[in-house]
């Protein structure tokens, strides 16, 4: 048995776990990330190939896309993964974690036991199946990002499972009585057009479906706009099972086997059950790792519920946000063909998620990230989206590192919630209704902020107004006129200041999707590569008494957030940022400039 010691132990390497582990390590905590699969990303990995959806609801909610580490990954992927391959994105997840200081990555490593003393977790036991190494991994804070809430359940954490009755949280769309049903598991497939007719012979074990069977499940040419325009290239999220008589945890293997019968039966129907436009198509990939939506939800000090989402409740301890509709899939999935496969319950606006949803109510050093956070079944229909899980994971990792520095427990961070919120904002996360009030940031102290040009409503002084994205009618940015040979913004402090770091936030068009997609329909509507609005080349000049004392040129930038550490402090009374090129836009745009 190999013994390891860490400040923070993150179990589960989906998007939430990756974000939690990176945030923890970047916050100075010595961190372990334990993943029982060969790749990271969970449902966003090549094993499942789902898109990273979130509050922007496929680009229909303006300026709502998640930033922070989620955006960092998506932009790296846009830069390095030209063909938008899920296998290449696996490598990007690996690179971000494997080479992160303070972070040890354990792939192919399954946690088998959780050791506790009273109401505290002391260690987890794990086996790395590729090399037969056994580990005891000790930690001060543990993060359950397993999806199924495995660590919490084994530690004795209180958890919820099933659908709460309408009266439990006064939720208008909840069932009248409490039951143990959850949303099911899906297998996807990928196909391609060979350009010639290809026969398909149904396996003897596959199910048989008629058009009547699938009347509520769009599957043929014209049923969905992407199929009528682009063919049957992938599908279908409604190939779903479990959550009723089959338990999504205990019966996962049996559900997977049944889903294979369903998937091949659906493909047989597309090929041989009438004219579905599939004559030239052949299966190219079939998912074998079951993709889960819901199982255990670990109880925290607050349970976010449907009323909070419908009314956009405000929380003093907000650390993350969501905005996807409550996407309530039919219980039992394909065993329930008479029901619509899902019910989308509209969420009127983005909503806050409080910090109290991210730590266990009764296990004092346990935090949660991903779909096992403290929410009701109804709210879970929205918060389970990967983009929402990712920003919550970053909040958890940041809070865990803060707790390590302060030598306190996760719950105690609630007493210094503003410090956590401000760190999240500094790290490019967004919290609705929370503004930058970082006392160390000198940029808001400037006596004058001007520019060589600007357009009405996007004046230069917006770069220090405390919000680093557009919100409804407020631009919160400086946008120059025609770029030409360059446009500059000048921050005048009115006196000499000592600076050691500059943070700039550029425009990556948070109203458009940039995620990988299995479905061609979503990819054809995307502009390939890095968002054209993003600033590519710029120069920062530090001036003292109208003389340039230091110049930092930046070429080929592809990040929304750029941190410029100066190494040695620079004394200046003005900063001038000159934008010289973008990835396609004929203007420069900056949302925020911070100076430390």
> What does each C-alpha distance from 14 to 36, 48, 217, 313 come to in angstroms?
10, 11, 29, 28
Residue 284: predicted pLDDT:
96
pLDDT on residue 219: 84
Structure confidence at residue 226 (pLDDT): 41
Opening angle at CA 414, ends 409 and 417, nearest 5:
120
Q: How far is CA 288 from the centre of its chain?
A: 23
Collapsing DSSP to helix, strand or coil, 110 comes out as strand
pLDDT by 10s per residue, the chain, length 596: 999 999 999 999 999 999 999 999 999 999 999 999 999 999 999 999 999 999 999 999 999 999 999 999 999 999 999 889 999 999 999 999 999 999 999 999 999 999 999 999 999 999 999 999 999 999 999 999 999 999 999 999 999 999 999 999 999 999 999 999 999 999 999 999 999 999 999 999 999 999 999 999 988 644 444 444 445 888 899 999 999 889 999 999 999 999 999 999 999 999 999 989 899 999 999 999 999 999 999 999 999 999 999 999 999 999 999 999 999 999 999 999 999 999 999 999 999 999 999 999 999 999 999 999 999 999 999 999 999 999 999 999 999 999 999 999 999 999 999 999 999 999 999 999 999 999 999 999 999 999 999 999 999 999 999 999 999 999 999 999 999 999 999 999 999 999 999 999 999 999 999 999 988 777 777 888 999 999 999 999 999 999 999 999 999 999 999 999 888 999 999 999 999 999 999 999 999 999 99
In the Cβ-directed half-sphere of 107, how many Cα atoms lie within 13 Å? Answer: 14
Q: Which of 101, 100, 94, 102 is nearest to 8 (CA)?
A: 102
Show contacts of 314-317: CB within 8 Å, 24+ apart.
Answer: 314/352, 314/433, 315/352, 315/353, 315/354, 316/354, 316/417, 317/354, 317/355, 317/356, 317/414, 317/417
CB 265 within 8 Å of CB 219: no
Picking from 467, 491, 473, the residue whose alpha carbon sits closest to that of residue 573 is: 491
Instruction: Say how far apart CA 274 and CA 461 lie, in whole Å.
Output: 62
DSSP symbols for 559-589: -SEEEEEEEEEEEEEEEEEEEEEESS-SS-E
Between the two ends of the chain, the Cα-to-Cα distance in Å is 46
Cβ atoms of 37 and 289 within 8 Å: the answer is yes
242 vs 256: CA distance, rounded Å = 9
Q: Are 14 and 370 in contact (CB under 8 A)?
A: yes
- Considering only CA atoms, give the Rg of the chain: 25
CA distance 512 to 501: 30
Phi, psi of 175 (to 5 degrees): -65, 160
Orientation of helix 386-406 relative to helix 69-80, angle to 10° = 120
pLDDT for res 527: 86
Q: What is the pTM of this model?
A: 0.97
Q: Give the tokens for residue 289.
A: 């790792």
Q: Would you say the C-alpha torsion 137, 139, 142, 143 has a positive or negative sign?
A: negative
360, 119 in Cβ contact below 8 A?
no
CA 69 to chain centre: 8
């Amino acid at each position: 048995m190999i013994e390891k010691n860490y400040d923070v132990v993150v179990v589960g390497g989906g998007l939430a776990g990756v974000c939690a582990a990176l945030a923890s390590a970047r916050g100075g905590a010595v961190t372990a990330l334990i993943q029982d699969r060969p790749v990271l990303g969970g449902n966003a990995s090549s094993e499942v190939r789902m898109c990273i959806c979130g509050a922007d609801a496929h680009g229909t909610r303006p300026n709502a896309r998640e930033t922070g580490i989620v955006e960092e990954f998506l932009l790296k992927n846009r830069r390095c993964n030209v063909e938008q391959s899920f296998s290449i994105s696996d490598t990007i997840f690996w690179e971000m974690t494997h080479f992160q200081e303070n972070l040890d990555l354990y792939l192919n490593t399954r946690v088998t036991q959780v050791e506790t003393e009273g109401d505290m977790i002391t260690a987890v036991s794990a086996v790395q199946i590729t090399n037969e190494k056994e580990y005891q991994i000790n930690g001060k804070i543990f993060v359950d990002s397993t999806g199924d809430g495995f660590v919490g359940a084994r530690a004795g954490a209180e958890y919820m499972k099933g659908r709460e009755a309408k009266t439990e949280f006064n939720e208008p769309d909840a069932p009248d009585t409490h039951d143990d049903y959850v949303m099911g598991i899906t297998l996807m497939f990928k196909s391609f057009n060979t350009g010639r007719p290809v026969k398909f012979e149904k396996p003897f074990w596959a199910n048989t479906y008629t058009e009547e069977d699938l009347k509520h499940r769009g599957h043929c040419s014209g049923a969905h706009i992407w199929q009528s325009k682009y063919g049957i290239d992938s599908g279908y999220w409604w190939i779903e099972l479990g959550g009723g008589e089959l338990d999504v945890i205990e019966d996962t293997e049996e559900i997977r086997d049944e889903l294979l019968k369903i998937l091949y039966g659906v493909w047989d129907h597309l090929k041989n059950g009438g004219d579905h436009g599939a004559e030239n198509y052949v299966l190219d990939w079939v998912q074998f790792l079951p993709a889960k939506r819901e199982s255990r939800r670990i109880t925290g000090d607050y349970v976010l519920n449907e009323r909070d989402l419908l009314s956009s409740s405000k929380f003093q301890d907000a650390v993350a946000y969501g905005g996807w509709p409550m996407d309530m899939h039919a219980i039992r999935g394909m065993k329930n063909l008479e029901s619509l496969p899902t019910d989308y319950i509209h969420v009127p606006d983005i909503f806050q998620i409080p910090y109290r949803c991210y730590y266990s109510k009764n296990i004092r050093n346990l935090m949660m990230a991903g779909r096992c956070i403290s929410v009701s079944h109804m709210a879970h229909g929205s918060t389970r989206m990967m983009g929402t899980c990712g920003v919550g994971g970053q909040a958890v990792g940041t809070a865990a590192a803060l707790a390590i520095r302060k030598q306190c427990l996760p719950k105690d961070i609630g007493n210094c919630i503003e410090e956590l919120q401000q760190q999240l904002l500094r790290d490019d996360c967004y919290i609705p209704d929370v503004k930058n009030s970082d006392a160390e940031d000198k940029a808001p102290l400037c006596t004058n902020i001007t520019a060589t040009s600007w357009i009405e409503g996007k004046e230069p002084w917006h770069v220090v107004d405390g919000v680093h994205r557009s919100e409804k009618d407020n631009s919160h940015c400086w946008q120059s006129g025609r770029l030409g040979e360059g446009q500059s913004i000048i921050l005048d402090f009115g006196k000499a200041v000592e600076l050691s770091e500059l943070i700039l936030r550029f425009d990556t068009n948070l109203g458009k999707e940039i995620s990988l997609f299995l479905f061609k329909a979503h990819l054809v509507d995307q502009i390939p590569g890095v968002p054209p609005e993003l600033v590519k080349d710029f120069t920062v000049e530090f001036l003292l008494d109208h003389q340039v004392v230091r110049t930092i040129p930046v070429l080929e930038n592809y990040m929304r957030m750029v941190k410029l550490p100066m190494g040695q402090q620079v004394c200046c009374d003005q900063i001038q940022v000159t934008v010289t090129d973008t990835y396609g836009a004929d203007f420069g745009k900056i949302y925020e400039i911070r100076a430390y």
